[in-house]
Structure 1
Amino acid sequence: MSERPEFSTVKRLACLALALSATLPAAAQDHSRVAILPGWQMADGRYLAGVEITLGPGWKTYWRQPGEGGIPPIFDWSASDNVASVEAVWPTPDIFDTYGMRTLGYSDRVVFPMMLTPVDATEPVRATLAMSYGVCSDICIPAQAEAANTLTRGEPVNVSVLSAALDARAIGPESAGVTGTSCNVAPQGEYAYSIEASIGFSEAAPGNLVAVFEVPEPDLWIGTPQAAPRGDTLTAQARMDWFGDGPLALVRDDIRITLIEPGVRSIEISGC
């Protein structure tokens, strides 16, 4: 059976990205630098550190959901010592409009806080990172980087930098005055669907927020949402294209909605 034409296009683009990542990493390194910033051990035994990306003038990198173009960062900590798990914290991104495409990310410099849970909290952690990410100016280039640092139980360091990055993470719906969220998913064709979220606020809905939908299903493509306030309700709608096998089975509790005031704050809502 022949495959869907649009799926063939997606696969060709994926192959092109892989080819670029194999041939152009050195060029990407010319425009970005990755380092691990040590922080401190928290009261619960976890270590706080930061992954810092420093970018050249005019270059940017991407948030976990890069938008209509771009490459999200992937953090691989598997070569670390005394690390059981790592949780990434995502600072609120900026919004970029490049050649008519909306992307989400960071310019100049970004620090991603990392919460590293040690196997043994009484021992230092050797944090070893292999990272893939994208950088973009007039052209977009896949990048790869490696970094390492030892995290100890000594005095806190890089406090102001890491604290500022933590303060830039998303707030929850209660803190933002969100009173309720509901979603409606409707078929729009054999493989196409629409999703519409209605988000209620305790006061007038903000008019300057950009909406992002995320789901854990890798075969579901969600387009750029259109968000509009009306009274105390913000409505966000997007097209979804399903590339998986069989009918789409979307678990509402797995839908994550992030409302972004570019570079200022973001609101994260889990489930609708």
Structure 2
Amino acid sequence: MTHAPRLPLAPTLIWALMLPIASLAQTVPAPLDDLPPGLQAARLLPGWTDPTGARILALELVLEPGWKTYWRSPGDTGLPPHLDWTGSGNLDHVTLHWPAPQAIRSGEVLEMGYHDHLVLPLTAHPVDPGQRVDIRARIDLGLCKDICVPAGLDLTAPPAGDAPDPRITDALALAPEPRDDSPACHVTPLADGMRVAMDLPPQGATLAAIELTDSPDVWVSGADITDGPTGPQAVVEMVGPTGAPFDLDRQALRLTVIPADDGPATESTGCAPG
């Protein structure tokens, strides 16, 4: 598997160029009737409060025909979304429940994201479970048709409702199912990083992604699906800040699989040496 030597820097450079624009946009929030190209609508669905005091809500994006946006680990050159919760009230942290991604083709490049419509469920964990959680979000994301456009949104959630929202519960059901077993993985050093191959289910996959969950500064290529020694594998290259081989924690590897048959998407964390 060969990748252009400059490719690992592409997403970082794009976001770096966006920072001055994003900073200016945060000081003067755009009204919601002045959405960036490619979006018909964007809002935070208010959701509800669960018995623990956590708030369940969602980001909803309605895309123009032919436009798409990206998943959390989109591939070689996609722009993963960045969400900032500054200005929220009684918020400790947020858990994102990503629906299984779809294939996005840009010429010969296959990436992972969403067409048409995205409902991204969120769990907002409170500092004080006895008090309400107020949510404000700054969202920087990529919107793509023939070209990709970096975009920013400033959103505020209405007060939480009293009952679960079926739009959110339906989206929660689209998240990959956790796998109980750990797939075998094969880790080898490269001149500028590491190569990771993880075994896939026997039926193979139409899409797969490997992430290194404890190292956000490590660039990870899109996964190639290949025939391994014992069956299909997902193979990626990882390049860290030093541009050299590095210690890799196998238990921090996360594999997401969109199967080749009609079965559900699956997700597993950790792997066994192959």
TM-score range, shorter chain: 0.7 to 0.9
Higher strand share: 1
Aligned to 1:181: 183
Alignment of 1:115-134 (within 5 A): 115-134=123-142
Aligned to 2:144: 136
CA distance in 1, matches of 2:90, 2:132: 7
Aligned to 1:236: 234
| 1:103-153 C-alpha deviation (Å, 9 max, x unpaired) | 11111110110101122333322211111111000010111001102434x
Secondary structure of the structure 2 residue equivalent to 1:164: helix
Aligned to 1:163: 169
Aligned to 2:257: 259
| 1:19-78 C-alpha deviation (Å, 9 max, x unpaired) | 356569889713223211011111222110001111111110000001122211111112
| 1:220-268 C-alpha deviation (Å, 9 max, x unpaired) | 3333323247899542223333442664111111111111248974211
Identity across the alignment (%): 27
1:46–1:118 contact (8 Å) kept in structure 2: yes
Amino acid in structure 2 at the alignment position of 1:98: S
Secondary structure of the structure 1 residue equivalent to 2:166: helix
CA distance in 2, matches of 1:120, 1:192: 43
Aligned to 2:219: 221
Q: Does 1:31 align with 2:42?
A: no
Amino acid in structure 2 at the alignment position of 1:132: D
Amino acid in structure 1 at the alignment position of 2:265: S
CA distance in 2, matches of 1:100, 1:241: 22
Report the CA distance shift for 1:70/1:11 in structure 2 as closer, same or farther (over 3 A): closer
Secondary structure of the structure 1 residue equivalent to 2:178: coil
Secondary structure of the structure 2 residue equivalent to 1:30: coil
Gaps of 5+ in 1: none
Instruction: Identify which of 50, 55, 62 aligns with 2:58.
Output: 50
The structure 1 segments of at least 4 consecutive aligned residues displaced by more than 4 Å after TM superposition are 9-13, 20-28, 228-233
CA distance in 2, matches of 1:90, 1:218: 17
Deviation at 1:169, TM superposition (A): 0.5
1:256–1:268 contact (8 Å) kept in structure 2: yes
Aligned to 1:271: 270
Amino acid in structure 1 at the alignment position of 2:142: G
2:111–2:222 contact (8 Å) kept in structure 1: no
Secondary structure of the structure 1 residue equivalent to 2:246: coil
Amino acid in structure 2 at the alignment position of 1:196: A
1:21–1:143 contact (8 Å) kept in structure 2: no
Alignment of 1:102-117 (within 5 A): 102-117=110-125
Aligned to 1:207: 204
Secondary structure of the structure 2 residue equivalent to 1:71: coil
TM-score by length of 1: 0.82
1:21–1:142 contact (8 Å) kept in structure 2: no
1:85–1:117 contact (8 Å) kept in structure 2: yes
Amino acid in structure 1 at the alignment position of 2:252: D
CA distance in 2, matches of 1:131, 1:73: 7
| 1:8-28 C-alpha deviation (Å, 9 max, x unpaired) | x75576445443565698897
Gaps of 5+ in 2: none
Amino acid in structure 2 at the alignment position of 1:71: L
TM-score by length of 2: 0.81
Report the CA distance shift for 1:21/1:108 in structure 2 as closer, same or farther (over 3 A): farther
Amino acid in structure 2 at the alignment position of 1:48: I
1:211–1:236 contact (8 Å) kept in structure 2: yes
Secondary structure of the structure 1 residue equivalent to 2:157: strand
CA distance in 1, matches of 2:182, 2:270: 11
My pick for the range that moved more, 233-242 or 76-85, is: 233-242
Aligned to 2:67: 59
Q: CA RMSD in A?
A: 3.0
1:206–1:229 contact (8 Å) kept in structure 2: no
Alignment of 1:79-98 (within 5 A): 79-98=87-106
